[in-house]
Amino acid sequence: MNERYMDWDDVATQRLVIKIASERLEIPPPQVMARMSALAALIPQLGNRFETIMMDVLVDLIRDPDHTAEIIVTLALMLPGADVEKIVTTNPRIVTQLTVGELQRRIAVLEDLAENSSATLTGPLKDVGRLCSREPRILNVDDLSRVLADVERLIPKKNPVDTFFGNPGVFLNMEDQGMYSSAERGSDYD
């Protein structure tokens, strides 16, 4: 069949995604479909984006289904007030780039900062689950002390933790935001 005359639809797109993922993971297409279905059962919003998500990210998400499920369960247990679906959908690399221990450490640091901050942090700002739901990329930050030092340098007369928690996205660098230079984009852009 000549691709030029083929009517491109969602089914064709899905078949292409499955074929590419199958080749990259070196597993048969039915196994790719089963892993994608399992992931969609855990995070339904992500299941709606399989055809548009970067192939590298999708392959990483379905490479190790047990790890993916463990990260999602850890998020749900450690951040009971969080919208885990939104966190993973907005920031899928958190599932693929962090170990469970590293995720637990980052959440614990955020909780410690929220608990030991000034009295001006109250309600939703003190709730780390809500904070992570509002700005999922905050979990990408490996060294919060560096970010807080930057906040203190930029706004010296304000409490850096309160300022950061009030609007964390403003203070995240490009890497923490998930933005990479064109040289670091991955094999999807070769």
Residue 190: what pLDDT?
Answer: 46
Distance CA 110, CA 114 (A): 6
Domain boundaries, the chain: 98-182
pTM of this structure: 0.78
Are 25 and 14 a contacting pair, CB within 8 Å? no
pLDDT tens digit string along 84-139? 999 999 888 889 889 999 999 999 999 888 887 664 545 545 688 888 998 898 89
DSSP string covering 11-76? HHHHHHHHHHHHHHHTS-HHHHHHHHHHHHHH-HHHHTTTTTS-HHHHHHHHH-HHHHHHHHHHHH
Range of lowest pLDDT (51-55, 115-119, 166-170): 115-119
Are 91 and 175 a contacting pair, CB within 8 Å? no
Mean pLDDT on 42-52: 86
Calculate the average pLDDT of the chain.
Answer: 83
Q: Could you tell me what percent of the chain has a pLDDT over 90?
A: 35
